Amino acid sequence: VAATIRDVADACGVHISTVSRTFSAPRLVNPSTRTRVLEAARGLGYRPNRVARALTTGRTFNLGLIVADIANPYFPPLIKAAEAQARQRSYHVFVTDTDEDPVVEEDLVHALAKQVDGVVLGSPRVRNRVVEELHRQLPLVVVNRRAEGVPAVLMDVGRGAGAAVEHLAAYGHRHVALLGGPSGSWNNRNVCRGAGEAAEATGVALHVLEPNAPTEEGGAAAALDVLESGATAALAYNDLVALGLMDELGRLGVRVPDDLSIVGIDDIAVSRLTRPRLTTVAMPTAAAGRMAVDMLLQLVDAGPEPTTPRATLDTSLVVRESTAPPPRRRPEPTPGSPSRRDGERAAHTHR
């Protein structure tokens, strides 16, 4: 039902190549015929078919952006910055979510392959081997991952995690629990490394706990483990985990920061709105999104550089209210505090 280039050509008695030029290289066509074509096109509601165009030119003017979990507030600033940057260069960004599943992630790159001019892989969950392999098949920039020969935007979370541990040590904490994240995540390895080194340097005992899901639920689920570990402070893989933990501790009658200190990582928007406000390691996600798009576009326009670009952005510790000196006695749950997360929900709904 949509008008094609031929309809427009017929409508104003020119060859299709003239119509084509009017849209892709207007300067090559006589101004008067150009306006005639444009008018006919408008009358018919014609728009060049981007799929057909892509088939001949090999260019789509789309970029793909793949993230592990779009519901994690960590990603939106990165996404929006990437989109803004791309839009400025007349590219569109297609965002997709892998649900933290490496298989889905790999599948998505392949699915996007010919439909975009390049892909930004945000915090990949696939293994390095796969990243390198994918990079051979299409322009690829990776965020928070080091892979051989693959352009990358890195955020120095190791330092940030280290600063967090030092901050806790300075308060006098001697036992810190570390709530790990996805094992496929470069980010997580760096958190562990950075925290570990700082712990060693400051003589703090680091209790590394099994990773749960990197979500509020994961954080809530870890509450008892944290208490049992005997730690007086916890460093969480991300703010969501920290917030979930903090909330669950509240239910258990453990006060933050009086009984237990908590540090998150990411500095998502809401961390500033909770009570207590969350102490956290701020990640420069917007800058990372912008930069990833810049690198990708350079890759697309100019081909692979002789030297693979790699940018590392600084993180910084933001001290708010969820950290304090350790209590005299180790924290314990107050028996009798119910732990139902949605108790308030069932009772009051209209109709």
Binding site for DNA (CB under 7 A): 4-6, 13-18, 20-21, 23-25, 28-30, 32-34, 46-49, 52-53, 55-57
User: What is the nearest approach in angstroms of a second copy to the Cβ of residue 349?
Assistant: 4
Distance from C-alpha of 33 to C-alpha of 49, rounded to nearest angstrom? 21
Among 12, 38, 113, 287, binds a second copy (CB under 8 A): 113
User: What is the nearest approach in angstroms of a second copy to the Cβ of residue 3?
Assistant: 11
User: What is the nearest approach in angstroms of a second copy to the Cβ of residue 217?
Assistant: 10
Element (H, E) at 208: strand 205-209
Pairing status of strand 261-266 against strand 279-282: parallel
Among 8, 63, 108, 153, binds a second copy (CB under 8 A): 108
Determine the residue type at 243.
L
Which of 166, 221, 219 minimizes the C-alpha distance to 195?
A: 166
4 lines the binding site for a second copy (CB under 8 A): no
266 lines the binding site for a second copy (CB under 8 A): no
Among 273, 328, 338, 340, binds a second copy (CB under 8 A): 273
Distance from C-alpha of 126 to C-alpha of 255, rounded to nearest angstrom? 38
Cβ neighbours of 144 (radius 10 Å): 21
User: What is the nearest approach in angstroms of DNA to the Cβ of residue 33?
Assistant: 4
Adjacent-strand bridge partners of 142: 121, 152
Ramachandran area for residue 282 (φ above 0: left; ψ -120 to 50: alpha; else beta)? beta
DSSP category for residue 66: E
Is the Cβ of residue 8 or residue 81 nearer to DNA in the bound state? 8
Is the Cβ of residue 5 or residue 243 nearer to DNA in the bound state? 5
The entry of a second copy, DNA, none that residue 92 binds, CB within 5 to 8 Å by partner kind: a second copy
| 117 burial level (CB within 10 Å; 0-12, 13-18, 19+) | buried
Is the Cβ of residue 38 or residue 84 nearer to a second copy in the bound state? 84
The interface mask with a second copy, positions 116-155, x = CB under 8 A, is ---------------------x------------------
**Window 279 to 318, contacts with a second copy (CB under 8 A):** 282, 314, 316-318
The entry of a second copy, DNA, none that residue 28 binds, CB within 5 to 8 Å by partner kind: DNA
Is residue 69 within 8 A of residue 97, CB to CB? The reply is yes
Element (H, E) at 67: strand 62-67
Distance from C-alpha of 321 to C-alpha of 318, rounded to nearest angstrom? 10
Distance from C-alpha of 128 to C-alpha of 146, rounded to nearest angstrom? 8
Chain positions contacting a second copy, by CB under 8 A: 2, 45, 47, 49-52, 54-55, 60, 62, 70-71, 73, 76-77, 79-80, 83-84, 87, 92-97, 99, 104, 108, 110-115, 137, 159-160, 163, 166, 216, 243-244, 246-247, 269-270, 272-275, 277, 282, 314, 316-320, 341, 344-345, 347-351
